[in-house]
Each structure stands twice: as structure tokens, then as C-alpha cells.
Amino acid sequence: MEKRTLGFAGPEVPVVCLGGNVDGWTLPEADVFRQLDAALDAGLNFVDTADVYSRWVPGHKGGESERIIGKWFVKTGKRTDVIVATKVGMEMGEGKKGLKAAYIRQAVEDSLERLQTDYIDIYQAHKDDADTPLEETLGAFDELVKQGKVRYIGASNLSGARLAEALETSRKHGFASYITLRPHYNLVERHDYESDLLPVVEKYQVGVIPYFSLAAGFLTGKYRSKEDAEKAARGATVQKYLNDWGFAVVAALDEVANAHGSTPARVALGPVI
């Protein structure tokens, strides 16, 4: 199997990817297909999903996003044109959660089946698992890399201390190391990343893939009141921003966007891309 270089520019230039957590939830399959077609045509070839997407929707079991993406691969034949990242570790029911070696081995096979591919470009720990030794988790990921089922590994939702510990553990044992971090980071959620995680990613040169870069849509300007949020599927997520400070941020985005013939969303993404 050919080994591709993903081309990450380092922590000072976060990677831009198309998030898949809305696939099969607020975005039906046909619309996901159109979105993926348009993204690839525009030069955006990095898709991020997770096994748990979208288990929180009534009637869903998880894996819905991966299945839709897999169907698109089969339909278009464009698997090798796309960098695919997915995640493991969140609750999938029936005791399926965490980062123990046996579960990682099971979960990766499930994700490969849903994605209809024989490899995953970046396999990510979705959140920390304090009950499992890092040596066990990283050893399992290392096995997958050596088997060719996974090309690289990444992490999400780790503290700076745990990220550093994981990176040092990989160095000590010669395991594959996290090359990416997926943190919560945007114009209204800056403190945790900049104060705790940024020093670590700079020291170890870890690529950064922020999630919620538009604060669940709040930074697009579409939520101008509590009533706007109450009518939206993701409205509960933005409730914490519906205050004078949050609206002042949106007003500033409006001002800059109007001055440059742009949109609030494009201006908001500037600091993270």
C-alpha cells in the first residue's frame, strides 16, 4: 500500500477539514453526497468523522456518518482522492467505549466496514480514557499502523498534560505517535487551547484540526436571538453564547465582513485557518 504524506503544516497552520457529525442527522444522505462532491471540486479533500456520529439522534445507533461516506466512496470511486479521519472511544452502547486494546481492534474493523475501505488515514482517540494505560492504547494503535489498516494516529479532547504524556510514551516505546490534535477552538472558545494545549503542540510539532470552528454555527451570525436558537437542531449548543459578549463578537464579525465584502463565517474562520 502506498504511503501518502498528509502535508500538515504544523501547529501554526491548523488543517481545514469537512466535519461529518451532521451527516445523516441535519444533513440527509443525498445532501451529504452533494456536499462531498462540491468540497472535492473546490479542493477540500479532508473529511473528519467518528464512529459515534450520530448516535444521539433518536433511532440511530452510531456509525451513520461513516456509512454515508462509505456509500459515497463506492458511488464515486474517489476514496484515494480523500484523506479520511475517524475516531474511537465514545460510548457506542453495550459496553463499547474507551481505548482498551481489544476494543480498538474491534472498533477499527467496524469503522473500516462502514467506510467501505481497507485503511483509515488518521485514526483518532476521541477522548481520554484514564482507566486504560497509555502504553496499552498506543500499543494497539501502533499495531494498526504496522498492519496498514491505519496510516497515522491523532487525538481529540486531551488536556495538554495528557497529550504530552502520550507523546512521550510513544517516544519511550517506539510506538506510532499522535500527529494531530482535534481541540475545541474558535473565536469564542480560545482560552483552553491557547493556554494549555498550544505550548504542547508547538513543542512537539503536532498538527491542529480545530472542531466547532464556527461555534456550532453561532459565528455565522444565524443565531441573533434565543428564539433563533430554539428553532434549530443545534440550538442548545449555542445557548451559552447568547449574551451581550457573544452578540458583540458577532457584531464585530459583521463589521469586518461588510468592510471587506465577505461574510461573518469567513472572517471567523480566518484565525483558525
CB-based contacts of 47, cutoff 8 Å, min separation 6 = 17, 18, 20, 36, 39, 69, 82, 83, 84, 85
Give the containing element (helix H, strand E) for 113: helix 101-115
- CB–CB of 104/140 below 8 Å? yes
Radius of gyration of the chain (CA): 19
- CB–CB of 186/219 below 8 Å? yes
The grid coordinates of residue 226 equal 434565543
The grid coordinates of residue 45 equal 479533500
Count the residues in the chain.
Answer: 273
Active site residue 241: no
Residue 243, number of CB atoms within 10 A of its CB = 9
Point out the catalytic residue in the list 53, 103, 123, 223: 53
Positive/negative CA dihedral, 77, 39, 51, 228: negative
Give the containing element (helix H, strand E) for 150: strand 150-156
The grid coordinates of residue 141 equal 494503535
Residue 79, number of CB atoms within 10 A of its CB = 17
Count Cα atoms within 13 angstroms, Cβ side, for 169: 17
Angle at 210 between CA 240 and CA 21, to 5 degrees: 75
Active site residues: 53
